[in-house]
Amino acid sequence: MTAQTHENLMIDGHPRSMMSCPDFPVGSFGIVEVENPGRGVWYSTACWREYVGTWVLDNGRLFLWRLEGKYRLQNPDPLFASWYSGTLVVPDGRLVHYVHMGFGSIYEREIHITVANGLVTHTEVVDNRARLEALRP
């Protein structure tokens, strides 16, 4: 499997990316599957999910702002992600170990953002230095 394209994430107006793909309810909230999505990264081995989402964290609330590829939002306004509970994984710092599979690459740090019903409940910064030491021969 090829390294996968990250989801887009805006945190209080600052562009970031995510090494996780929050789910969303296709067929609800104006989220639809499209037959001819056009060309883009979603038609490559770097995007097995066949879409790229843009998400927004604003004042502790998670919104789905845009979908490109296989899915689209019918409404142009950001959609509060009340359905989502899970952990968003945001790379932080330099890429220090590239893995050509999934979201396996290692960055200096990761920001883990726990979300419950669209609301941020916890944020933790994970230092990956120990993980890197374990990879060294």
40-91 pLDDT, tens digit per residue, is 766 777 888 888 999 999 999 999 999 999 999 999 899 999 999 999 999 9
Q: Are 55 and 9 in contact (CB under 8 A)?
A: yes
- 59: buried, middle or exposed (CB in 10 Å: 19+, 13-18, 0-12)? exposed
Pairing of strands 51-58, 7-11: parallel
Tokens 């805006």 label which residue?
Answer: 10
- Token code pair at residue 5: 């394209």
Q: Are 61 and 12 in contact (CB under 8 A)?
A: no
Domain ranges of the chain: 7-135
pTM comes to 0.87
